[in-house]
Amino acid sequence: MTGRRSTTSVGLIGFGGWGRLIFRDLRTLGVAVHVAVPGPGCRQDALAAGAATAHAHLRGLPEVDGYVVATPTATHAAVVEPLIARQRPIFVEKPLTNDPASARRLVDLAGDRIFVMDKWRYHPGIRALAGQARSGALGKILAIRTFRLGWDNRHRDVDAVWILLPHDLAIVLEILGRIPAARSACGIVPGRAGSDLLAVLRDDAGGVQVTVEISANHPASRRAVVVVGTEGAAQLADSYDDRILIAAGVPGHATSTPHTVEVGSAMPLLLELEAFVSHLRGGDPPRSSAMDGLLIVERVHELRRLAGLA
């Protein structure tokens, strides 16, 4: 982007479990990575893994081509804001923030240079479902159903709703090109507020209905997305599937047995980082803009309100 370096350089803020995977994939892409993380042990690990430099605070980072923020959700706004003055693109882990006011502030300050790491928008299976929906192959889209069920929430700064729900809203955005209005939401397990949610979104009485079920109360993991239209349905049955299932017709009037379409097994994290690095080198921006991130934060906030979550 600057034309002053032969190697693209990125400042990575955060080197926890997910930050290390981001670091790995950036290095795979041939990027020089400068890490900012407070823990001395993490800095040593970063250097041992091949970091160009490691710093205790983002203030110590040298001039780079762009930044990736992989810190806890509750810190996103506080980390991103001081980076804005550096006038470089910023790729921040989802969600953009955990409240609409701070997300709006980031959009107002630098909405054209901030992008959100919605990795599911890069998933080959989700891209294939979007292709089926937008091509008209399924007829008029009637409904989308998503499931994101698993055990526990490793993130202690925000509850499971803030961690899980943005993924599914990003999937809906990729498939429909929009996120319908929030209509209803409720918790599923009594006494465990914030650990699960059943949500319904819909534009209007005749629009596409989206139903999202998320939970941190399921010992067995399940990730699935189903798109239903007037002429058929398509499904990604599992997050690691390299194919989608397609069925033509409607129940009781099926015109064929379900068949599979191969989509490949490229990993979404690598794909989204590849898109960001390409942008730093003059290519198109990543798929989720700051405005997209704000929309998702607003929908999560509204669904939480409908479910009675503080």
pLDDT per residue over 80-112, tens digit each?
Answer: 999 999 999 999 999 999 999 999 999 999 999
Residue % of the chain over a pLDDT of 90: 94
**Predicted confidence (pLDDT) per residue in 204-218, tens digit:** 877 999 999 999 999
Nearest to 143 by CA among 61, 83, 71, 201: 201
Confidence check: pLDDT of 192 > 60: yes
Phi–psi pair at 292, nearest 5 degrees: -60, -45
306/178 Cα distance (integer angstroms): 20
Average pLDDT, the chain: 96
- Under the banding of pLDDT at 50, 70 and 90, the label for residue 3 is very low
What pLDDT does 6 receive?
63
Segments in the chain forming alpha helices (H): 17-28, 40-49, 76-84, 100-110, 124-135, 160-176, 268-280, 290-306
Res. 1: pLDDT tops 50: no
- Per-residue pLDDT at 152 exceeds 50: yes
As a whole number of Å, the end-to-end CA separation of the chain is 42
Our CA dihedral for 41, 43, 49, 50, rounded to 10 degrees, sits at -160
Question: Average of pLDDT values for 191-220?
Answer: 95
Amino acid at 271: L
pLDDT at 2: 39
- List, for residues 33-44, the tens digit of each pLDDT value: 999 999 999 999
Domains annotated on the chain, with CATH: 9-119+270-288 (3.40.50.720), 121-266+299-306 (3.30.360.10)
